[in-house]
Amino acid sequence: MNPARRVTGVLLALVLAAGCQDRLDLGSNVLWASLFEGGTFDEWTSAPGGSADAFPSGNTIAVTDADAHHGTHAALLTIDAGPDGTQANAGLVRKGGLPVEAYYSCWYELPSSVTVGAFWILFKIRLRTDAGDASSEKEFYDLELVNTPDGSLALRLYDHQSGLDVPLLLSPAVPVGSWFQVEAFYRNAQDDTGRLTFWLNGVQVVDVRDQPMAPTPWIEWDAVNVGENLTPSTAVVLIDDCAVSLSRVGLTGLIAE
Amino acid sequence: MSLALLLIARGAAMAQGAAEPALVGGPSGCPTPSLVWQHLLLLVPGPVLVERLRAPAGAPPPVQLFDLGSSFRVTAGDRVREYADEARDCDKRAQFAAVFVAVATGADPASASPPPPERAFAGVATAPTEVVFIPRVRLDVGASVTAGLGGGETATSAGVSARIGFGTRRLIPVGSLTLLAPLTDHTGDVAIRRWQATADADLRTLAHDGPRSVVYVELGAALEVLSARATNLAVSDAQFGWAVGPRAAAGLIVRTSARLSPFVVIHGIWFPGAPELFALPAGDLGRAVWNLGVTAGASWGIR
């Protein structure tokens, strides 16, 4: 065979045999994630300081396959928050063992709208005044839902330490009947570099910055359905695809392969 | 007879000796510039040579001679010839150099007197065979800059490349290896430390073979090996990947009188199966489907 043809044949074979690797997995900034695809709360309860609880009785937390953001399962948090002044709680909790600086993300769905009489909370940051003393835990920031004059729902950030609402940069409507993402960046610094930023569906809605945060580096993060005096009293929140990440997840980020 | 002619020519050379140092030079000892000048005067009248080879004041002689041992090289202006002569017959070398210079300068050897032109050229039949220098092996070594394009952000790297081509046929096989220096770039929020090497095998053909330059094109296939490691992720591992694809290139070699010639080559490689870079939570960080680059350096022709 002509040497040139032989070489051409070899080159052609190489190109045709162009094998490849589909993907080089470089690593991850996702420190922890919860997809609920196992049908349990193990992702929360097996993490240090993690739990999934509803109280008092009448409030429930379960994994459902009726709806999901991705996959087939999500957490279904149902509370009965009547006008009796009792706080109803269903929540997924991560206490301690969290980095001083991280992004916290969950996807939520509200099957139906609710009229908020007292408060309705979806996302909480809590603190300890003594990192080693569980009895020193206190409320810090609550991301809540409030009704707007037109009847739709909007966000509210309440600072328990100051007893004031934090002014929002924007106040977009919170969708009902579709999944939306709440993501926070929390740098729990005890000096002026502290920062708490929230995004709703990728849009920054509040930015607390350049100020000390909690008195200790200890952090509690809760994805919850907590309310009081809601109408109707039964309020349902679906939660899915939660993550703690060192970089922003955003709307398109992947938290697991 | 030849000796007699040479003696006559020497007489003429003495008469026009002042022109020799300015017109014929070079470090060659076999043949010497002086001997070539004497043979040249047998072919072309001195005033014609002075007119045709005139050089600016202070410029080196337009005719340069180089003794390469088993061969010698003659340059006349921008024309170059190399002659093989294992026997090192300095007188015959001088004859050939003189004929080449006479032809190269466009002087009419027939105008010389004496000797008749057929005497001067009669030596061609018995002299060493003229060999136009065509390297059997060409080794190109240079600096490369490449850009990986497609899907993600462009990653530009610099490195070194060595390329070797074999043969003197119309189509010759060539192969190369390019090593790119480690590079850290950002794709989205992810800092990626990359290292890359490319090997290719091609066929080269000349598109233009002129007195001053050679232009060639190459078609073949390339293999890319890639190492990538994220440097700002909580959890990361170095990953290795590879891809194969067709390659096309076009190059230019500038002819010089020396064995080393400058060259430049541009290439494009298509890696349809280039591995996708992936990280959490960013997801797909893109894949470098196209590899475009340029290499410049020195090309060494080896007999």
Contacts of A248 in chain B (CB under 8 A): 189, 281
**pLDDT value, residue B125:** 37
Q: How far is B28 from chain A (nearest CA, A)?
A: 41
At B150, the pLDDT band (50, 70, 90 cuts) reads confident
Give percent above pLDDT 70 in chain B: 81
**pLDDT value, residue A8:** 60
> Using CA of residue B269, residue B275, residue B280, residue B284, what is the dihedral sign?
positive
**Mean pLDDT, to the nearest integer, of B191-205?**
94
**pLDDT value, residue A15:** 53
Q: Which two tokens stand for residue A210?
A: 């350049």
> How many Cβ atoms are within 10 Å of A132's Cβ, its own excluded?
9
At B2, the pLDDT band (50, 70, 90 cuts) reads very low
B110-123: pLDDT as tens digits: 444 444 343 333 33
The more confidently predicted of residues B49 and B206 is B206
A139-178: pLDDT as tens digits: 999 999 999 999 899 999 999 999 999 999 999 999 999 9
**pLDDT value, residue A21:** 61
Sort residue B285 into left (φ over 0), alpha (ψ -120 to 50) or beta: alpha
Query: Using CA atoms, how far apart are residues B296 and A59, in angstroms rounded to an integer?
Result: 73
Contacts of B286 in chain A (CB under 8 A): none
**pLDDT value, residue B107:** 61
Taking the Cβ of residue A3 and every Cβ of chain B, the question of whether any pair is shorter than 8 Å is answered with yes
Taking an 8 Å cut-off on Cβ atoms, the answer to whether A243 and B281 are in contact is yes
CA closest to A256 among chain B residues: B280
Taking an 8 Å cut-off on Cβ atoms, the answer to whether B233 and A257 are in contact is no
A2-13: pLDDT as tens digits: 655 665 666 556
Give the strand pairing for A220-231 and A115-128: antiparallel
Tell me, what's the ipTM? Answer: 0.84
Three-state SS across chain A?
CCHHHHHHHHHHHHHHCCCECCEEEEEECEEEEECCCCCCCHHHHCCCCEEEEEECCCCEEEEECCCCCCCCCEEEEEEECCCCCCCEEEEEEEECCCCCEEEEEEEEECCCCCEEEEEEEEEEEEEECCCCCHHHEEEEEEEEEEECCCCCEEEEEEECCCCEEECCCCCCCECCCCEEEEEEEEECCCCCCCEEEEEECCEEEEEEECCCCCCCCCCEEEEEEEEEEEECCEEEEEEEEEEEECCCCCCCCCCCC
CB-based contacts of B152-158 (< 8 A; 24+ apart in sequence): B152/B187, B152/B277, B152/B284, B152/B285, B152/B286, B152/B287, B152/B288, B153/B185, B153/B186, B153/B187, B153/B188, B153/B286, B155/B183, B155/B185, B155/B187, B155/B192, B155/B194, B155/B288, B156/B183, B157/B181, B157/B183, B157/B194, B157/B196
A53-91: pLDDT as tens digits: 999 999 999 999 999 999 999 999 999 999 999 999 999
* Residue B147 φ/ψ, nearest 5 degrees: -125, 130
Taking an 8 Å cut-off on Cβ atoms, the answer to whether A27 and B203 are in contact is no
**pLDDT value, residue B123:** 35
Query: Using CA atoms, how far apart are residues B20 and B38, in angstroms rounded to an integer?
Result: 9
Considering only CB atoms, A23 lies closest to which of B220, B234, B276, namely B276
Give percent above pLDDT 70 in chain A: 92
Contacts of A10 in chain B (CB under 8 A): 201
pLDDT at A17 over 80: no
Edge-to-edge strand order for the sheet containing B276-280?
Answer: B235-236, A23-28, B276-280, B283-286
Q: Give the DSSP H or E segment for B48.
A: helix B46-52
pLDDT at B223 over 50: yes
Taking an 8 Å cut-off on Cβ atoms, the answer to whether A20 and B233 are in contact is no
**Mean pLDDT, to the nearest integer, of A24-48?**
97
Query: Using CA atoms, how far apart are residues A202 and A110, in angstroms rounded to an integer?
Result: 18
Contacts of B274 in chain A (CB under 8 A): 20
pLDDT at B58 over 80: no
Average pLDDT, chain B: 81
The more confidently predicted of residues B256 and B4 is B256
Give percent above pLDDT 90 in chain A: 90
**pLDDT value, residue B32:** 87
Give percent above pLDDT 90 in chain B: 38
**Mean pLDDT, to the nearest integer, of B160-188?**
91
Considering only CB atoms, B246 lies closest to which of A15, A19, A247, namely A15
Shortest CA distance to A184 belongs to which of A164, A215, A157?
A157
Considering only CB atoms, B242 lies closest to which of A4, A21, A22, namely A21
**Mean pLDDT, to the nearest integer, of B192-214?**
91
Contacts of B235 in chain A (CB under 8 A): 27-29
**pLDDT value, residue A16:** 55
pLDDT at B15 over 50: no
Q: How far is A75 from chain B (nearest CA, A)?
A: 21
* B111 DSSP 8-state letter: G
pLDDT at B14 over 70: no
Q: How far is B250 from chain A (nearest CA, A)?
A: 18
Residue written as tokens 């001195």?
Answer: B46
Q: How far is A147 from chain B (nearest CA, A)?
A: 33
At B127, the pLDDT band (50, 70, 90 cuts) reads very low
Taking the Cβ of residue B275 and every Cβ of chain A, the question of whether any pair is shorter than 8 Å is answered with yes
> How many Cβ atoms are within 10 Å of A111's Cβ, its own excluded?
13
**pLDDT value, residue B41:** 79
In degrees, rounded to 5, the angle at the alpha carbon of residue A46 between the alpha carbons of residues A42 and A48 is 145
B274-296: pLDDT as tens digits: 999 999 999 988 888 999 999 99
pTM for this one?
A: 0.70
Contacts of B241 in chain A (CB under 8 A): 20-21, 24
